[in-house]
Amino acid sequence: MPRKAMELLTESMFYVLMALCREPMCGIDIATFIEKRTGGRIQMGPATLYTILGKFEKEKYIRETEVSGRKRTYQVTEKGAEAYRAELERLRRCLEDAESCMRGGI
């Protein structure tokens, strides 16, 4: 059955949720966290990050907790944490299948 748009998290979306599951952050801190975590492999573009934050807020995956000047701090919601765990589980199974495939030669 095809998955709906928000069920399918892109890599960028996954890492944003990862950052916010760790602790509440503002946008620039999320970008910095992702860059450090991936060793520079993912350098989040500002428009990408801003679109993801807007989409997640609309889908109630995250909520705004603090506004300080132009900075807005976000926190993951239970719905967002659940989506993150589901994606993590999916990726883990993909990895397990791939590794067992490598071992078994199938």
- Residue ranges that bind another protein, judged by CB under 8 A: 5, 10-13, 27-28, 31, 42-52, 54-55, 70-72
3-state secondary structure of 106: coil
| Residue placing its CB nearer to another protein in the complex, 54 or 96 | 54
Nearest distance in Å: CB 17, another protein: 13
Nearest distance in Å: CB 26, another protein: 8
Tokens of 95: 């990895």
Taking alpha carbons only, the member of 90, 91, 64 closest to residue 77 is 64
Nearest distance in Å: CB 4, another protein: 13
| Residue placing its CB nearer to another protein in the complex, 43 or 100 | 43
| Residue placing its CB nearer to another protein in the complex, 22 or 54 | 54
Residues 6+ away with beta carbon under 8 Å from 71: 26, 27, 28
Helix-helix angle 46-58:11-22, to 10 degrees: 70
